[in-house]
A and B are shown apart, each in its own frame.
Chain A
């Protein structure tokens, strides 16, 4: 007779016991934590009817020819065909990809570097933190307007530098069709990096002192410590920050409206602005729905594989 029960046998016995208990406990399972469940009902209803229901409604109506008011006249994929023939939509997609990629990379890098610098037990840390976080308190409209003035060739940076002596200095990205999206990127980074910095700082503060000491004792250079030890440990913080930055990218609308109104020409158009303009200015709801369904699709294309890797993987290891 084996002195140790094999793991399989133990597991099988435990499962049997658990299911017997489950049968016995099932009536109480539902009523357990009842207060919390009741408190969650409004949010569940909102999530189901407003978010989920609204999304399904939008997708369904994107296959109709609704103009100012929604109506159920099916036209199949016509709205999507028209959408992808629009030069303005193609430019919007290009712009959001450029803005998204650069915003993500620079936000994370600058945010993390600032947080690492702030973590060095400096004086006036609170002051610096306030200064860096302050732009986040401004709305995108204010940010857009401020940066429109700063980047204005007659009143902003260009004229200041010229008045200091460099008379041939030229810096007016907002009037150049090829680089206007970078002008918007500057404003967006200025506004959002503060929050990334604060989140990273919180994450860094959560790292145990002993890790730092051990790394120092082992003689690992500082940059390697950060790159190979600290950052992997801060994975949850990075994921949270990523989600926040990504939602800010997809939502990009009011910054563009305030800073350039989509100009010059249609060089700084973004998908959210296309959706709004088609739905309300063009009185063509279905076209706007088609565009927003495409935006949702692109988010899902990124989200679903990640969710599978994140949560599906664990089940496979069990």
Chain B
């Protein structure tokens, strides 16, 4: 009687606590706010929600330049989020060195990330003193120029197949009232375009000497003189694009108001959302059609150290999920990027993505600028590029001299 009541109460409470595991909320910050990017990050959120936990979205508008200071301030200020996006490379270097990031080595060894992730440089960028602190989710390359078939048709010239043909076709585009090269005004866009021109025109060895070995002599030498001359040509072509964001410039290409845009392969998401078909409405030239290789930058998710063991367990689950086959396929198809796993099949990929996959598989790859240069050096190069690309006042020779000085002082 008395026992029955007490036993019943005890049994009820045990039953209550042995129910299904409580789902954990994880706040994830990122800067994917354009149409294509939002569709892609929704795939990650969907997968995380389906696995039992809850994805609290923390999108920050304004691209990486606006978002990264906010993310870093929150982490160093003691209000860390559950997970945060950074690009592959040195952007979170000091945060990892200061011990503010969660160590993922346990789950990385268990799931054999070192064998799955290709190229190896992606995991190397995540490794510090032998421990892994981030999970790469995609490979983005900058080395593309996107061409609008409509613009070239209106101008009456065939779509170019390399940079020289593009330069030759530019006067016809201008006569037809089109902007030859669309480019937004944010500094990272002109800096990135310069990097693309450098690899395509200057060649791989010169690029490696400058960006990896920080050789200032090569930066001031004849190969880069050619690069700066090509950049000066491109500068004349982009003069009339008065837009700010990268996707506004892509929109100029999509609507046929501009001939082309030098932009990374994340632009594919925009073409996809606009319903355009690769090869029919637009085409892409990897390496500007000159040097078919791609840099392997992209995004990785870092997990700030949290005090709550339940949240830490949820972080591990999210990290593991991001590298799973299904999520890699769904996410990268929507984003227009290449998967980090070598063993997934992107059958539904479009023409341009297939080209990218081929180049990746053939090993014609280079690390991204973010992985070799510190944010400080990147910032200085961006300042120089902004100045160079926005007016004719600074000549190609002067810009090259300043560039060599920046490389000489790079750490």
Q: Are B383 and A68 in contact (CB under 8 A)?
A: no
Q: Are A263 and B185 in contact (CB under 8 A)?
A: yes
Q: Are A67 and B391 in contact (CB under 8 A)?
A: no
Cβ of B72: which chain A residues have Cβ within 8 Å of it?
68, 280, 283
Q: How far is the CB of A42 from chain B (nearest CB, A)?
A: 23
Inter-chain CA distance A264–B383, complex, in Å, is 12
Produce 1/0 per residue, A168-186, CB < 8 A to B.
0000000101000000000
Cβ of B8: which chain A residues have Cβ within 8 Å of it?
none
Interface residues of A in 269-285 (CB under 8 A from B): 277-278, 280-284
Inter-chain CA distance A283–B64, complex, in Å, is 13
Q: How far is the CB of A171 from chain B (nearest CB, A)?
A: 16
Q: Confirm or deny: A88 has a beta carbon within 8 angstroms of a beta carbon on chain B.
A: yes
Q: Are A177 and B244 in contact (CB under 8 A)?
A: no
* Given A67-B94, A68-B94, A69-B76: A265 touches B379 (CB 8 Å cut-off): no
Inter-chain CA distance A265–B191, complex, in Å, is 12
Q: Are A177 and B391 in contact (CB under 8 A)?
A: yes
Name the prevailing secondary structure of the B interface residues: helix
Q: Are B390 and A264 in contact (CB under 8 A)?
A: yes
Cβ of A265: which chain B residues have Cβ within 8 Å of it?
386-387, 389-391
Inter-chain CA distance A80–B262, complex, in Å, is 36
Number of A-B contacts (CB under 8 A): 70
Cβ of B244: which chain A residues have Cβ within 8 Å of it?
261
Inter-chain CA distance A277–B402, complex, in Å, is 20
B residues at A contact (CB < 8 Å): 65, 68-69, 72-73, 76, 91, 93-95, 98, 185-186, 242, 244, 374-376, 378-380, 383, 386-387, 389-391, 393, 402, 405, 409
* Given A67-B376, A177-B391: A82 touches B409 (CB 8 Å cut-off): yes
Cβ of B383: which chain A residues have Cβ within 8 Å of it?
86-88, 266
Name the prevailing secondary structure of the A interface residues: loop
Q: Are A175 and B242 in contact (CB under 8 A)?
A: yes
Q: Are A281 and B389 in contact (CB under 8 A)?
A: no
Cβ of B69: which chain A residues have Cβ within 8 Å of it?
280-281
Q: Are A283 and B94 in contact (CB under 8 A)?
A: yes
Cβ of A69: which chain B residues have Cβ within 8 Å of it?
76, 94, 98
Q: How far is the CB of B326 from chain A (nearest CB, A)?
A: 35
Q: Which A-chain residue is minimally distant from B377 (CB atoms)?
A: A282
Q: Are B387 and A266 in contact (CB under 8 A)?
A: yes
B387's contact among A82, A88, A287, by CB below 8 Å, is which?
Answer: A88
A-B contact pairs, 22 of them (CB 8 A): A67-B94, A67-B374, A68-B93, A68-B94, A69-B94, A88-B387, A175-B242, A263-B185, A264-B185, A264-B391, A265-B387, A265-B391, A266-B386, A266-B387, A266-B390, A267-B390, A277-B379, A281-B68, A282-B376, A283-B374, A283-B376, A287-B376
